Amino acid sequence: MVQSLDRLKETASQTAGPYVHIGCTPNYCGIEGVFPADLGASMVDAETRGERIRIVGRVFDGVGTALKDAMVEIWQADAAGLYPSPQEKRGTADPHFTGFGRLPGDMTTGEFVFDTIKPGSVPFKDGRPQAPHVSVWIVARGINLGLHTRMYFGDEAAANEADPVLSRIEHRSRVATLVAPRSDEDGVPTYRFDIVLQGENETIFFDI
Amino acid sequence: MSDGSFYQRDRSRHPPAFSPGYKTSVTRSPQKAPISLDNTISEMTGPVFGHVPIGALDNDLTRNYAHGGDPIGQRIIVHGRVLDEDGRAVPDVLLEFWQANAGGRYRHRKETYLAPLDPNFGGCGRTLTGPDGSYRFRTVKPGAYPWPNGPNDWRPAHIHFSVFGLGFAQRLITQMYFEGDPLIWRCPIVRTIPDRAAIEQLIAPLDMASSVPMDARAYKFDIILRGRRSTLFENRLEGN
- CA dihedral angle for residue A56, residue A62, residue A66, residue A71, rounded to 10 degrees: -70
pTM of the full structure: 0.96
CB contact under 8 A, A29 and B109: yes
B232 falls in which pLDDT band (50, 70, 90)? low
CATH of the domain at B84: 2.60.130.10
For residues A132 and B5, is the Cβ–Cβ distance under 8 A? no
Q: How far is B202 from chain A (nearest CA, A)?
A: 7
Name the amino acid, one letter, at A193.
F
Domain membership of residue B106 (yes or no) is: yes
Domain membership of residue B28 (yes or no) is: no
- Residue A154's domain comprises 20-196
CB contact under 8 A, A88 and B41: yes
Q: How far apart are CA A194 and CA A39, in angstroms?
A: 23
Residue B182's pLDDT is what?
A: 98
Write the CB contacts of B235 (distance below 8 Å, at least 6 apart in sequence).
none
Name the amino acid, one letter, at B118.
D
Residue B237's pLDDT is what?
A: 46
What residues of B are in contact with residue A19 (Cβ under 8 Å)?
98, 106, 108, 110-111, 160
DSSP B26-42: GTSS-SSPPEE----HH
- Residue B127's domain comprises 52-224
H helices within B40-178, ranges in order? 41-44
For residues B96 and B126, is the Cβ–Cβ distance under 8 A? yes
Domain membership of residue B194 (yes or no) is: yes
Domain membership of residue A163 (yes or no) is: yes
Residue B239's pLDDT is what?
A: 41
**What amino acid positions of B are annotated as catalytic residues?**
106, 145, 155, 158, 160
**Chain B CA closest to residue A119:** B42
How buried is residue B94: exposed, middle or buried, by Cβ count under 10 Å (0-12/13-18/19+)?
buried
- Examine the pLDDT at B53 and tell me if it is beyond 90: no
High-pLDDT (> 90) share of chain B, %: 90
Q: How far apart are CA A152 and CA A131, in angstroms?
A: 7
Mutate to test the interface with A, among B3, B22, B24 (most CBs of A within 10 A): B24
Domain membership of residue A207 (yes or no) is: no
Give the closest of B97, B189, B240 to A15, CB-based. Answer: B189
Residue B4's pLDDT is what?
A: 85
3-state secondary structure chain A: CCCCCCCCCCCCCCCCCCCHHHHHCCCCCCCCCCCCCCCCCCCECCCCCCCEEEEEECEECCCCCECCCCEEEEECCCCCCCCCCCCCCCCCCCCCECCEEEEECCCCCCCEEEEEECCCCCECCCCCECCCEEEEEEECCCCCCCEEEEEEECCCHHHHHHCCCHHHCCCHHHHHHHEECEEEECCEEEEECCEECCCCCCCCCEEC
Interface of B with A in 9-38 (CB under 8 A): 9-11, 13-17, 19, 22, 24-32, 34-38
Stretch B190-204: mean pLDDT, rounded? 98
Secondary structure of residue B81 in the 3-state scheme:
strand
Give the closest of A73, A107, A145 to B17, CB-based. Answer: A145
Interface of B with A in 127-146 (CB under 8 A): none
B6 falls in which pLDDT band (50, 70, 90)? very high
Stretch B228-233: mean pLDDT, rounded? 72
The CA radius of gyration of chain B, in Å to the nearest whole number, is 19
Domain membership of residue B149 (yes or no) is: yes
Could you report the per-residue pLDDT of A61-106, keeping only the tens digit for each? Answer: 999 999 999 999 999 999 999 999 998 999 999 999 999 999 999 9
Mutate to test the interface with B, among A67, A92, A208 (most CBs of B within 10 A): A208
For residues A117 and A51, is the Cβ–Cβ distance under 8 A? yes
Give the closest of B35, B168, B173 to A13, CB-based. Answer: B173
B52 falls in which pLDDT band (50, 70, 90)? confident
High-pLDDT (> 70) share of chain B, %: 95
The DSSP code for B196 is H
B240 falls in which pLDDT band (50, 70, 90)? very low
- Examine the pLDDT at B1 and tell me if it is beyond 50: no
Domain membership of residue A208 (yes or no) is: no
Could you report the per-residue pLDDT of B13-49, keeping only the tens digit for each? Answer: 999 999 999 999 999 999 999 999 999 999 999 999 9
Domain membership of residue B3 (yes or no) is: no
Total CB pairs under 8 A between chain A and B:
291
**Chain A CA closest to residue B52:** A39
Mutate to test the interface with A, among B5, B23, B40 (most CBs of A within 10 A): B40
Q: How far apart are CA A100 and CA B130, in angstroms?
A: 22
Domain membership of residue A202 (yes or no) is: no
- Examine the pLDDT at B233 and tell me if it is beyond 60: no
Q: What's the total number of domains in chain A?
A: 1
CB contact under 8 A, A13 and B172: yes
Could you report the per-residue pLDDT of B124-164, keeping only the tens digit for each? Answer: 999 999 999 999 999 999 999 999 999 999 999 999 999 99
B231 falls in which pLDDT band (50, 70, 90)? low
pLDDT along chain A (208 residues), means of 10: 92 97 95 94 97 98 97 98 94 97 95 98 95 98 98 98 96 97 95 98 97
**Chain A CA closest to residue B1:** A87
Residue A6's pLDDT is what?
A: 84
Domain membership of residue B122 (yes or no) is: yes
Write the CB contacts of B112 (distance below 8 Å, at least 6 apart in sequence).
none
Residue B50's pLDDT is what?
A: 84
- Examine the pLDDT at B236 and tell me if it is beyond 50: no
What residues of A are in contact with residue B2 (Cβ under 8 Å)?
none
Give the closest of B3, B44, B201 to A11, CB-based. Answer: B201
Q: What's the total number of domains in chain B?
A: 1
Could you report the per-residue pLDDT of B89-124, keeping only the tens digit for each? Answer: 999 999 999 999 999 999 998 888 999 999 999 999
Secondary structure of residue B185 in the 3-state scheme:
helix
Give the closest of A33, A99, A206 to B34, CB-based. Answer: A206
Domain membership of residue B58 (yes or no) is: yes
What residues of B are in contact with residue A141 (Cβ under 8 Å)?
24, 28
Domain membership of residue A12 (yes or no) is: no
Domain membership of residue A161 (yes or no) is: yes
CATH of the domain at A120: 2.60.130.10
What residues of A are in contact with residue B225 (Cβ under 8 Å)?
10-11
Could you tell me which residues are beta bridge partners of residue B146?
B154
Give the closest of A9, A21, A75 to B46, CB-based. Answer: A75
Average pLDDT, chain B: 94
Domain membership of residue B44 (yes or no) is: no
- Examine the pLDDT at B234 and tell me if it is beyond 80: no
Q: Is B95 on the interface with A (CB under 8 A)?
A: no
Q: How far apart are CA B61 and CA B69, in angstroms?
A: 12
* End-to-end CA separation in angstroms for chain B: 18
For residues A43 and A101, is the Cβ–Cβ distance under 8 A? yes
Secondary structure of residue B77 in the 3-state scheme:
strand
